[in-house]
Structure 1
Amino acid sequence: MAAEGSGIDPMHQFQVEPVLGRHLMLGGYDISFTNSALFMVLTMAVLWVFMLGGMKRSLVPGRWQAAVEGVTSFVDNMMTSSIGPKGRHFTPYVFSLFMFILFANFIGLFPLGIVPGWHPFTVTSHITVTAVLAFFSFSIVLIVGFLKHGFHFFSLFIPHGTPKLMIPLIFVIELASFLVRPFSLGLRLFVAMTAGHILLDVFASFIVQGIHAGGPLGPVVAILSFVMIVGISALELLVAAIQAYVFALLTSLYLNDAINLH
């Protein structure tokens, strides 16, 4: 958070900055290791530790192993119900996608701001990150669709029973709807995470202003703002999990269209 006048700039938390405080240029390109890259690496490290601790394969699984097996089964069941038996071929990818988004969302909510000089960075609050994830998933859908069906893949855009006179119009509408999918997929996650973090910063600024304000109303505003922060934080935890699930579910449904041409 950064001071701006007498308040707090809620957009400062989304600023990408070099970790070492200075930009590293090479051939005219900025190759600095940024806070965004740092939290991506941190997310992958935490995910790696989580998976490593749950792969002991004990006959009687402990809580850690049960948690990993539970998440794996959850994603596997989602793929099977969305696509069918063929969906298990894509379980590793969708599982990795789901877990990365989930851990990135949760890590971005850690209260690191209480440590001087530190503040959390939510990588999924940047459209560049969510767009890359969305377009990568969409690319896999296209590759699977054309490899499996060839040009017959275009029949996906002509629903069964469409009158012949309506085929050109319906094809254009369905194609446009299909091409919008990666944009809506990336935008949904980006907006949900950004909005929640802005709200948290805004109410944090109310607390600071309430504490420093004179009169009897200042403490009341600070207390009410703190209560709102607690509520929004709980809601953000729920949103973080739901958004990871929605991203993985929609990816599986798009794969289902490519595989089964529904």
Structure 2
Amino acid sequence: MGKLIFGAAFLLVLASGLFFAPAVPGLQIHPTDQFLIKPLGGSGELNFYTPSNVTLWMGLAIVAIFALMVLGSSKRAIVPSRIQSVAELAYGFIYKMVEDVTGKDGLKFFPYIMTLFMFILTANMLGLLPMSFTTTSHFAVTAVLAMLVFVTVTVTGFVLHGTKFLGLFWVSSAPLALRPVLAIIELISYFVRPVSHCIRLAGNVMAGHAVLKVFAGFAGALGLFSFLPIFAITAVYALEVLVAFIQAYVFTILTCVYLKDALHPSH
């Protein structure tokens, strides 16, 4: 049965390559077109208040999170359903991460960190749907998320410790002559955090989707041999599913590490 399905799929790929190959020779691949921000109406001027495809897919991410974490867990059954099991697994996973990295003091920030993780993960996964839009591929979105983390960590550090929070930049274990130089390096690295935080997420997501688009263009241009890039698309797509989770995890655990510095500013 499996061989029949594979054979039918293979014949379908060959037929599509023969009959739907482009009439104009040469590749016409535009991998960055998928990242264009467009008004929902499809035309008109794009202003900061204009509903766009970014607005739509961020809204769908929020709806999906609400459906999973609230509606899916509302019954609180002793024998959980699959949706409830996924919600409980995500809750326990992030709770343990926050507790292990930041300690008991950091658990008060658990709702915020849980929200970050679920939003990034859901937005990444929705971006893998056909004809969708990946909001986390835009630096404007990831920069806001990173700056929120940066401001939250900095304010928390000064509120809890006052000027003692500046001890985070003073390497007391180093020789006295080197401490001012190391303090400058530590200060620069601290302010670079939101930059690397947002670029890592957006860059990885954007790169993966661009690769998928390039292989899709090859599949449309190679005709009879279009099955070759299709196999590559399948492999890259599987990798992108993994990257969607890993990037959400990396963003979240770095948030926990930065928060630990604010709660316990010592070198």
Q: TM-score, normalised by structure 2?
A: 0.87
Deviation at 1:18, TM superposition (A): 0.4
* Structure 2 CA distance for aligned equivalents of residues 23 and 139 of structure 1: 35
Cα-to-partner distance string for 1:110-167 (whole Å, 9 max, x where unaligned): 12xxxxxxx2110000010000000001110001000001111110011231222112
After superposition, where does 1:130-209 map in structure 2 within 5 Å?
Answer: 130-209=142-221
Pick one of 35, 51, 62 that aligns with 1:44: 62
SS of the residue corresponding to residue 9 of structure 1 reads coil
Aligned to 1:115: none
Which residue among 32, 35, 41 is the counterpart of 1:20?
A: 41
* RMSD of aligned residue pairs (Cα, Å): 1.7
Q: Which amino acid aligns with 2:90?
A: V
Within the candidate set 194, 211, 229, 2:233 is matched to 229
**What residue number does 1:9 align with?**
30
Letter in 2 for 1:23: G
**Which residue is equivalent to 2:6?**
none
Alignment-derived partner of residue 110 in structure 1: 129
Does 1:77 find its partner at 2:96? Answer: yes
Contact 2:68 2:84 in 1 (8 A): no
Q: Moved runs in structure 1, 4+ residues, more than 3 A?
A: 3-6
How far apart, CA to CA, are the structure 1 residues paired with 2:108 and 2:38? 39
Matched, 1:31 2:49: yes
Which of 124, 128, 135 is the matching residue for 2:140? 128
Q: Which whole-Å CA distance do the structure 2 matches of 1:193 and 1:74 have between them?
A: 23
Distance 2:74 2:113 in 1: 19
* Aligned-residue offset at 1:242: 0.1
- Whichever residue aligns with residue 161 of structure 1, its letter is S
Give 1:207's aligned amino acid. Answer: A
Partner of 2:182, secondary structure, is helix
Contact kept, 8 Å, 1:23 with 1:30, in 2: the verdict is: no
What secondary structure, in the 3-state scheme, does the structure 2 residue paired with 1:36 have?
Answer: helix
Whole-Å Cα distance in 2 between the matches of residues 47 and 24 of structure 1? 31
Q: Note the alpha carbon deviations across 1:32-70, whole angstroms, 9 max, x for none.
A: 210011100011111111112123222232222121111
Alpha-carbon distance between aligned partners in 2 of 1:13 and 1:161, rounded to the nearest angstrom: 50
SS at match of 2:259: helix
Aligned length: 242
TM-score by length of 1: 0.89
Structure 2, unaligned stretches of length 5 or more? 1-21
1:237 Cα deviation from its structure 2 partner: 0.2
Q: Distance in 1 between matches of 2:206 and 2:121?
A: 15
